[in-house]
Amino acid sequence: MSATGIIRNLTPPQIQAMKGGDPIVCLTAYTTPIAKLMDDQCDVVLVGDSVGVVLHGLPSTLGVTLDMMIMHTQAVRRGLTRPLLVADLPFGTYEAGPEQALASAVRLMTEGQASAVKLEGGRVQAETIRFLTERGIPVMAHIGLLPQAINTVGGYKVQGRGEDAENVLADARAIAEAGAFSVVIEKVTASVAEKVTEAIDIPTIGIGASANCDGQVLVVDDMLGLFEDFKPKFVKRYGNWAEVGRDAIVSYASEVRARRFPASEHLFGDEAPKAKTPRN
């Protein structure tokens, strides 16, 4: 809290300084109400391009646009006072090179009010990461499984096995040297994730990686149990919102059909209520 009593959001340097300290707590969010729920618990809130699958019903993240990301980032910003707000650069908004990435990142930060951006890729994106950070754009990197590259890798396969371990390590070193302030490691073997965490001086945030990463991230809808038919191995459900929500909808439908809702306490009478007498 500042001297004025206003709570300030955490900054990329503060997150980077958490390397080797207390684990970094990160979740995705896409709406204001959900952001408010995690405001006092998370260190980082990520507006992931997973919004396309989670909220828009897309088959993958590839159909997510920059305008969609800006809109959802604005919504999440309205619900946060403490966590660092990071937003994904969606597919097709940075692959052409550093200049395209800069233009996209500027929009996410000025229009969307993100405090940092995240992009997928290791060595191949090192030049872009350096270009952005030198121009005042904090970058969270993303290595291991890259959801935006599923057509290239052939699906959501575990990364880092066998000879691929050296590729993951090389990617991690490259993005750290390029200036990223942290890195998400997705669906990588635990032993490789631990080697990466030891090898670089920026925080590692695991998702399907290792408990020994510097932090963890999950898609909030997955950990709340909103998708009954989707449960990857690396997801732990901390709630069953799908069941709770379905039961509530069943009760509502039953009461409407039986004309038990709305009841008298939910309706308005013809006469205006009498003014209350003020207390002396």
Annotated binding residues for 3-methyl-2-oxobutanoate, as ranges? 49-50, 88, 118
d(CA 224, CA 231): 11
Binding-site residues for Mg(2+) sit at 49, 88, 120
Is residue 265 annotated as a catalytic residue, yes or no? Answer: no
Residue 127 exposure: Cα atoms within 13 Å on the Cβ side: 8
> 111, 163, 166, 186: which one is catalytic?
186
Binding-site residues sit at 49-50, 88, 118, 120
User: Which residue, among 143, 148, 139, has the nearest Cα to 160 in the 3D structure?
Assistant: 143
Q: What's the per-residue H, E or C state across the chain?
A: CCCCCCCCCCCHHHHHCCCCCCCEEEEECCCHHHHHHHCCCCCEEEECCCHHHHCCCCCCHHHCCHHHHHHHHHHHHCCCCCCEEEEECCCCCCCCCHHHHHHHHHHHHHCCCCCEEEEEECHHHHHHHHHHHCCCCCEEEEEECCHHHHHHHCCCCCECCCCHHHHHHHHHHHHHHHCCCEEEEECECHHHHHHHHHHCCCCEEEECCCCCCCEEEECHHHHCCCCCCCCCCCCCCCCCHHHHHHHHHHHHHHHHHCCCCCCHHHCCCCCCCCCCCCCC
d(CA 173, CA 152): 23
196: left (phi over 0), alpha (psi -120 to 50) or beta: alpha
Q: Which residues are catalytic?
A: 186
